[in-house]
Structure 1
Amino acid sequence: MPGNPNEIKLVNNAMSNATRRKIMNFLDEGDKTVEEIGAAAGKTMLDFHLKLLQQAGLMELKEGTASLSEYGRNFLKGKEEKDQEKSADLSQAKPIEITEVRQLLPCIADSSKFRTIANMAPPPGGVLKVIEPIFPRGRYSDRIGALIIQQNEVITTIYGTGKVTMTMIKNEEEAKNRLENLKVTINEAIAKGVAPAPREKVRVEAMEIYKYLPQTNCGKCGDQSCYTFAIKLMGGETSLDKCTPIKEPEYATNLEHLQVLSAYI
């Protein structure tokens, strides 16, 4: 059973990918052939995904048939219990209001669109982490204490302090409508008093990652093309910070999108 830091790192890396999590949940139903796994989870990079799960000690593969290891079964059981504990009580949370839209500034990447900064009160704090499952493309970041939501090209970031930012907004009217819808969605969850059940995140394809990369094929990341980099990013073979051009001001909005998409890899 993994216990030392290197082994734990292998497990965390193996379970950081949506396809590998799907494979694990599929194997929880019983032993499966590689063909059955490919039909259920997709055949793209299947050998790579199975190899990582084996290296992490989560599954075993013999003569074309895969099964969960004892550690793999215990891991899923522990995760299920932890997810049940996360079904937090929201009965003490207070409804929020949008108190002001403070700024409407041109987006760096597209001067025809705007970046909005607003406030909500009272500050939602830890409620954001609990209600994350409400939003199909939402993820809570412990690092910045914020819930990040992607809706097409618009990215909304709600901070525990009550600050709200939105990118790629057409005008002030759209900003106000989106903020109002956000308020209603959050308050409906608070009114129910119980957090929604955790959900599997939307799967992201390599082409969607590629769409937001610089597409210059500069090779600074060590790969021949931006599309190759996107495929490796999907497979967990590289990291977004290896793409140095994406950190330039002209790609600021692209970077925000890629940071959101990375949560679903």
Structure 2
Amino acid sequence: MSGNPNEIKLVNNAMSNVTRRKIMNFLENGERSTEEIGGEIGKVMLDFHLKVLQQASLIDLGEGTAKLSEYGRNFLKGKENKGEEKNTDISKAKPVEIAEVRQLLPCIADSSKFRVIANMAPPLGGTLKVLEPLFPRGRYSDRINALIMQKGEIITTIYGTGKVTMTMIKNEGEAGEALENLRNTINEAIAKGVAPAPREKVRVEPMEIYKYLPQTNCGKCSEQSCYTFAIKLMSGEVALEKCTPLKEPGYSTNQEHLQVLSAYI
């Protein structure tokens, strides 16, 4: 590739997806059949992912086979040294306590569930960023200085200031148990003095995204259906903001879930 902006954009888009990165790593040992790739990576949208990699000149496709292109092999070699993962020292962080549960409010999207606001002390500040790998479905947001995690329907957000919010909680007992588990997980890492190395995040399927969309097929996003929107969201062809109904109060929790899920695409 010549390295012009359009080609660089194709490569960046191709490698921004977890599934496509896994395909590249799987092909590092030589040519594979698409059946083998599907067995290792998963068959959902496999053809689409292979075409994206081919368009970026990272792989060559044959009749039912795929292999790294010369450019793709050189690309991976260039990433080897940069991709080394090291544990992060957090030995100076202090153990935390959940100081109080300040509010238990009804969720907007489901009045039978609650939204919890609590306080964690001392505030973890920037340490939150290196704690992200502790949680399989966790991501750190620089913009709001917060660690956002998902477990089932529950979304938990820890802010650098010490504020903790949780959505879709059944009752105060469940809130207390979840906050206690959160405290223990963080304090165990602090006691060891290191956070685990970053790892690939959980794979998200189109149906999981579709589940939290309005499912009205209203067409306001210019797509034929909400499921089509989910597929294009996964491929990076549309942004979550294009689904304008999510901005309505009744979908606020759905939007929170989708913002978390979109981090794993």
Fold match by TM threshold 0.5: yes
Q: How far off is 1:211 after superposition?
A: 0.9
The 10-residue stretch of structure 1 (150-159 or 51-60) with the greater mean CA deviation from structure 2: 51-60
> TM-score, normalising length from structure 2?
0.90
Equivalenced residues, count: 265
Give the gaps of 5 or more residues in structure 2. Answer: none
Question: How many percent of aligned residue pairs carry the same amino acid?
Answer: 80
DSSP-derived class of the 2:29 partner: coil
Q: How far off is 1:170 after superposition?
A: 1.9
2: CA distance, partners of 1:86 / 1:160: 23
Change (3 A) 1:187 1:76: farther
Q: How far off is 1:6 after superposition?
A: 3.5
Change (3 A) 1:141 1:69: farther
Change (3 A) 1:222 1:114: same
Q: How far off is 1:75 after superposition?
A: 4.0
Partner of 1:142: 142
Partner of 1:198: 198
Change (3 A) 1:69 1:90: farther
2: CA distance, partners of 1:47 / 1:76: 21
Matched, 1:12 2:12: yes
2: CA distance, partners of 1:85 / 1:38: 27
Partner of 2:131: 131
> TM-score, normalising length from structure 1?
0.90
DSSP-derived class of the 1:139 partner: strand
Give the gaps of 5 or more residues in structure 1. Answer: none
Matched, 1:119 2:124: no
2: CA distance, partners of 1:161 / 1:29: 46
Counterpart AA for 1:187: N
- Spell out, residue by residue over 1:119-161, the C-alpha distance to the aligned partner (whole angstroms, 9 max, x if none): 2122212222212122111122222221111111110011122
2: CA distance, partners of 1:116 / 1:158: 12
Partner of 1:48: 48
Change (3 A) 1:13 1:48: same
DSSP-derived class of the 1:258 partner: helix
Could you say what the CA RMSD is over the residues aligned between the two structures, in angstroms? 2.1
